[in-house]
A and B are shown apart, each in its own frame.
Chain A
Amino acid sequence: MTALTIDRINKRYGNLHILKDISIPIAKGEFVSLLGPSGCGKTTTLRCIAGFERPDDGSILFGNRDVTRTLPEQRDIGMVFQSYALFPHMTVAENLSFGLEVRKVSVPDRQKRIADVLAMVRLEGYDKRFPRELSGGQQQRVALARALVIEPSVLLLDEPLANLDATLRDEMRFFIRDLQQRVGITSIYVTHDQAEAMVMSDKIVVMSAGTISQFGSPREIYERPASQSVAGFIGRSNTISGKIAEALGQDSYKVDTPCGSIGTTGPAGLAKGAEVKIMIRPENIHTRKQCVGAGQKQEAGSGEAGKDENVLAGAVVNSVYQGSANQLAVKLASGDRVTVDVNGRNPLDVGEQVALRFAASDTWLLAS
């Protein structure tokens, strides 16, 4: 059952078309991230869901209740802001009580729910404090508690971790995700941080320039990006240009490139001769030192390279030590540069010849 349906909403400010036909179905209990660079429309989408903006057309449904024309206070939402937006003149308990008073919850009930939610965010004993007496992380948890204590039908989070320092941010990602799963609340999370979206979400909506570039699970988006811009935005990637030589199966193709023929995986239905880009993630490429003069063929034929394994020759042009790994820049025969992660313990030196091996199943074709 869809808990929340966004159906073809549009939003314009004068000549600016901020949202173009945005549609997102969200299942009950799902954690969905809206991910994209600033100005892509993710915050406007969230504000439309909250009711602080009204879309020019299209509709928004909570369950099967159409809320498109209702005020924010009538929607039954919980919202967490980047600035936390805790009421500075109220104590933690009064902040939490605010939404319950509006809902006319009885005093004993109120006290119980506040105590419960404070325990849930591990802030027992902080009820008499003012927000200014709390650390950033604690304020964030109060903001979360205030949104959850009213048991809303949807939880909206607008870059809630952007003001925290790096260590705390990592901690809070898991804290929020864990809490969300325990409560089982449908959540929409706006962020520009792809790592955050990856670790927290059931589904990610990648947005750019007011449109949805891709909607899918983190795995789909990482391994099967819909376009080069999605591939570039989520994690690091290499691309090699080529042309489809033949289709080997429903989703596997042989692609001709300046470095030779490469076996690849890609979306179904690509025509022979179509210009494509082969995307390979740096961590999916394996290297082997190659003796100068040793042919590619010999290397390719030696042993464990499977049937769908590709081998390319290249020279190391740069090597950066990163602790757990070494990041290599390798120049291919075609002149393309690819980035490769190798184990930090047996480094390769600049100038060395290497063989790059990667499985066809680890590639993905992007339309050019």
Chain B
Amino acid sequence: MSALEAVPRIESRSNRGSATWMVVPALVLLIGFFALPYLTIITMSLREASTRAVYGEGLTLSHYTTALGDFYIWGILGRTLLIGATVTVLSLLLGYPVAYHLAKSRSRWTSLLYIFVLSPLLVGLVVRTFAWMIILSNNGVANQALKAIGLITFPLQLMNNSLGVTIALTHVFLPFIILPLLGNLQAISPDLAMASRSLGASRMRTFWKVTLPLSMPGIQAGTILVFVLSISAYVTPAMLGGTGGRTMSVLVVQYLVDNFRWPAGAALAIIMAAVAVMFVGLYLKLTARAMRRLP
């Protein structure tokens, strides 16, 4: 069959026409069920609310004006961003040493350590968040341990607030910063650190002046990834956050699933996405200076 013949052709130009079929199913899937659906969030956010159906007849901007005039929503947005920023900083602080260690490691345990980094990523979010519930609940492992060593007599409130969500999200998204950093650090030739040492720089100075500046692309990619993931996370704040740790995603899903306020929920989702894009844009601008000199 000519279509099958076309698969491996090396003289691509003569067969390009007949190879197009290969990409058609994927394009149909991603345009038909990914790109187009995103447009419906926008259209949905402009529809009027209705009590009888999920949305009414006319078009309106009222969902945006209502949301932006609501201090409660501003509060939740602020909390979401604060959690996102904290999680990003924490995962950078915890992830960098691991990535650095893994990039330098030559032992036969390296492969096992890599599994340690990767596996939390592949264990489901509900499962990992559940694990944190076991740890952070009032009778949880953390409080038990603190009581046992005599630091506290009454359990600390570790979940149903921003604290619990922040801790769990840091754990959940840590691999997402380690992996880009690892790729970046491994791409830096070890000769550069040796050159720096041969010129008389201590290991500390070598790190600050050579390794760290050269790992800026990895830091940038990893922090953006973690920030976007943590402000849009749903499962962890829904399970651990309670009302004290409620974030935008939780609010949006509540609008959509519990209250059937689809247009208003769509407007909230767009506000959340717009704020995320703004912050990432600002961040890119700020980090551009540090990246300017890199090839």
Contacts and interface: CB of A to CB of B under 8 A. Distances in A.
A and B touch in the complex (CB under 8 A): yes
Interface of A: 50-52, 71-73, 76-79, 81-83, 85-90, 98-99, 102-103, 130, 132, 146-147, 150, 156
A45 B236 CA distance: 55
B104 to A, nearest CB: 13
17 contacts: A52-B197, A71-B197, A71-B202, A72-B198, A73-B200, A73-B202, A77-B198, A81-B194, A82-B191, A85-B191, A99-B201, A102-B199, A102-B200, A130-B293, A146-B195, A146-B199, A150-B200
Contact of A132 (B189, B194, B197, B295): B295
B209 interface: yes
Contacts of A87: 192, 195-196, 210
B214 interface: yes
Given A51-B197, A72-B194, A81-B195, 7 more contacts: A78-B199, A79-B194, A82-B191, A85-B192, A89-B294, A102-B205, A146-B195
Contact of A79 (B189, B198, B294): B198
B276 to A, nearest CB: 29
Nearest to A79: B198
B200 A99 contact: yes
Task: Determine which residue in B197, B198, B201, B214 has the highest number of CB atoms from chain A within 10 A of its CB, and name it.
Answer: B198
Interface of B is mostly: helix
B195 A79 contact: yes
Contact of B293 (A52, A76, A89): A89
Given A98-B201, A150-B200, A83 B293 contact: no
A85 B200 contact: no
Contacts of A103: 200
B194 A52 contact: yes
Shortest beta-carbon contacts, A-B, top 4: A99-B199, A79-B198, A85-B191, A85-B195
B214 A83 contact: no
Interface of B: 189, 191-192, 194-202, 205, 209-210, 213-214, 293-295
Contacts of A50: 194, 198
A103 B198 CA distance: 12
Given A73-B202, A83-B189, A98-B209, A88 B197 contact: no
A345 to B, nearest CB: 49
A188 B201 CA distance: 21
A98 B199 contact: yes
Contacts of B200: 73, 76, 99, 102-103, 150
Contact of B191 (A76, A83, A90, A150): A83
A146 B197 CA distance: 13
A276 to B, nearest CB: 45
Given A73-B200, A102-B200, A81 B205 contact: no
Nearest to B202: A73
A101 to B, nearest CB: 9
Contacts of A150: 199-200
A73 B191 contact: no
Contacts of A156: 198
Contacts of A73: 197-202
A89 B214 contact: yes
Contacts of B205: 102
Task: Determine which residue in B192, B195, B205, B213 has the highest number of CB atoms from chain A within 10 A of its CB, and name it.
Answer: B195
A16 B194 CA distance: 24
Contacts of B294: 88-89
Contact of B197 (A72, A82, A86, A90): A72
Contacts of B192: 85, 87
A71 B213 CA distance: 23
Nearest to A52: B194
